[in-house]
Amino acid sequence: MSRVNVSWIIAVLAVELATLSAAGAHSCHEVKTAFQVRQIGQLKWVPETPATDVDLSVCKHAGPSCCTRRMEESYRAAVLRDTTQNIRSYSFELKYLISAHATAFQDTFQSLISFSQNHLTSLFETTYSSLMSSISPHIICLFTDLSRFIQGTGNVSVEAAVHCFFDSLFPLVHTRIVNPGMASSIDADTSDDNQLGDCLRMTRQDVNPFGSYPKAMAKELAEALRAGRVLSLALGVGSEVMNITETAELSKECTRALVRMQYCSHCRGLTLIRACSGYCLNVMRGCLASLSELHNPWRQYVTVLQDLSHMVAGAHNLELALLGIRGRVEEAILYAQLHGPRLTVTVDKVCGHSSNASSSTEGTFPPASVTPPTANISQDVPGGDPIGMLAHLHREFTAYISRYKSFFAILPETLCEAEMGVDELTCWSGDDVVKSYTARTVGNGVRAQRQNPEVRVRSVDPVLMDVKNKLELFNMEIQEVMPGVGHRESWDDTASGESSGECDDEDGCEGSGESVTSPPLTEADVSTTPVKVSSQDSPITQKNPSSDASLSTASFIIIILALGLQWPFI
């Protein structure tokens, strides 16, 4: 090819490149594409070419702009939609974790209660069959009350339920086991007119026919089931907190800052530029200032959950207490048999002479040397040995929940991960394309936002402050009724009082709430999991793939054209 032809081709290519670049400089095509892809609004609102006399309220710029006032309104709606959706996406796993384990714990509790009920029923079916038909309603009543207590429904007392059961058991044991001759002439369970039966029920605790077994059983169950009840209530509180926080509204100042950060660059034809990391953190920490105030009480709340879960499953406390009911009842009956003569004499004195009783109780009870048999938990009951169910659930739950102790503190960083550029030489500062963000980066919490250069926080969100107060009150009430719960770690690093207003990108910048001092501990209010989440934990973390393929001359020309379209208004 001649030298003239080569020169001519180069000249033609240069003219075409210049023409295409000039055309791109006067086009809003890329802005329109982004407007459509992100489903921001109708394409007819995007102008074909940039204008200089646009009336904008947020994305003000002296040069040509591809934005209109109508587009700004659409950008406002888009950032509200997208930011709210992102918050819900990040909180979904935590919300599901709490609700799913609340159901799992409650189902396990109910399975254990049902197993224990069958276990006790089998005792009367196999060993004390003469009592079975009369005691059955009282067994049902006992376990119904235990179930209601651990579910947190109704004003139920474990101690009262246990003593009521033994009150009803005493007349049956006295008339059908200790003095079997009385069984044919008295029905102490169904006859309201039977004075002896009524007397036995009312005086059972004074006569003490079962020794210390009823009190021991009541104490064991009350302590074990109380932790399960409080855990159920605590998980319910966590679900309520998550439901409220994920619907928290973003302020007008926050919305303006989000538009400026995410879309004002589009008005200048820059649809691919990413926000500077420090800039994004300032915007997000300003927007989520009230939400970050939940950090301290939430962190302590998670520790409360961990402690309660350990109390329920540790050493199989709740399982052994429920499954030990059969053994306690059997030992109580054997105690009454062993002390039959003394018991009969006492009953005759308190409730009148048992004229229908056998003249001798010899042979109706075992000698004092008899050792009560040890109950086998899995014996006579289908389904095998249930011990270990709660321990497995506890390990799983605490492993997951511990990751979310700092959820509200690191939420701004988590949300910024999708907005920040990765290994980029330039970024968007809200006003221009820069090499780095030079303004100070503030910490978390409302007080720290006094120094925020990007978002003006006028006041705290009253809804979120109400949630914070309720969470602090709940933590305090738990510590009142269960000393030591929620204090497995030092709170010096979290109860910081007031943020300094300065923080780097790695320190978490924890909130400005104050620590709560617990008042004296009482039991009346009972009835009324730390690993920082990393980017790998985030379900929505996005990464930009890079290509190492070499570029041909044609590809290089295309990139030159693209750059001419992408950066026309700088």
The two structure tokens encoding residue 101: 């384990």
Give the pLDDT score at 262.
92
Higher pLDDT, 309 or 512: 309
pLDDT, average across residues 261-273:
91
Tens-place pLDDT, residues 363-408: 333 433 334 444 444 444 444 556 788 999 999 999 999 999 999 9
pTM passes above 0.75:
no
* Segment among 249-258, 331-340, 412-421 with least mean pLDDT: 412-421
Digit-coded pLDDT (tens) for 341-351? 999 898 888 88
- Percent residues over pLDDT 90 in the chain: 49
Establish if 465 belongs to a structural domain.
yes
Residue 375's contacts (CB-CB under 8 Å, 6 or more residues apart) are: 123, 324, 326, 327, 330
What are the tens digits of pLDDT across the range 515-559? 333 333 233 334 333 323 233 333 323 333 333 333 333 333 333
pLDDT at 423: 56
- Beta-carbon count within 10 A of 258 CB: 26
What confidence score (pLDDT) does residue 490 get? 38
Largest Cα separation within the chain, whole Å, is 138
Distance, CA of 275 to CA of 339 (rounded, Å)? 83
293, two tokens = 């105030």
Half-sphere exposure of 411 (CA within 13 A, CB side): 32
| CA–CA gap between residue 293 and residue 447 (Å, rounded) | 10
Nearest to 533 by CA among 418, 441, 409, 443: 409
Residue 388 resides in a domain: no
Q: Which residues pair with 65 in a beta bridge?
A: 51
Q: What is the pLDDT of residues 301-319, one digit of tens each?
A: 999 999 999 988 887 789 9
In this prediction, residues 67-72 reach a mean pLDDT of: 90
Q: Is the dihedral of CA 317, 323, 327, 330 positive or negative?
A: positive
Residue 54 is predicted with a pLDDT of 75
- Structure tokens that stand for 414 in this block: 């988590």
Is residue 492 in some structural domain? Answer: yes
Using a 10 angstrom Cβ sphere, with 0-12 exposed, 13-18 middle and 19 or more buried, the burial of residue 12 is exposed
pLDDT tens string 120-136: 999 999 999 999 999 99
Considering just the CA atoms, what is the radius of gyration of the chain in Å?
A: 37
Report how many domains make up the chain: 1
Amino acid at 570: I
Q: Is the dihedral of CA 443, 449, 450, 453 positive or negative?
A: positive
The winner for highest mean pLDDT among 44-48, 372-376, 417-421 is 44-48
Q: Is 531 left (phi over 0), alpha (psi -120 to 50) or beta?
A: beta
- Cβ atoms of residues 298 and 471 within 8 Å: yes
**Confidence (pLDDT) at 484:** 83
Note the pLDDT of residue 353.
60
Non-local (6+) Cβ contacts of 563 within 8 A are none
Instruction: Give a yes or no: residue 390 inside a domain.
Output: no
Taking the C-alpha atoms of residue 514 and residue 492, their distance in angstroms, rounded to an integer, is 11
Q: What is the 3-state secondary structure (H, E, C) of 75-87?
A: HHHHHHHHHHHHH
For position 418, what pLDDT does the model report?
A: 67
Which helix (H) or strand (E) segment holds residue 564: the answer is: helix 553-566
At 508, the pLDDT band (50, 70, 90 cuts) reads: very low
Per the domain annotation, does 481 fall within a domain?
yes
What is the structure's pLDDT at 188? 41
| Cβ-based burial of 247 (10 A; exposed 0-12, middle 13-18, buried ≥19) | exposed
H/E segment holding residue 433? strand 433-434
Q: Quick check: is 34 in a domain?
A: no
Is 555 inside any structural domain? no
Q: Quick check: is 226 in a domain?
A: yes
The one-letter code for the residue type at 518 is S
Query: Residue 327 sits in which domain range?
Result: 72-354+404-537
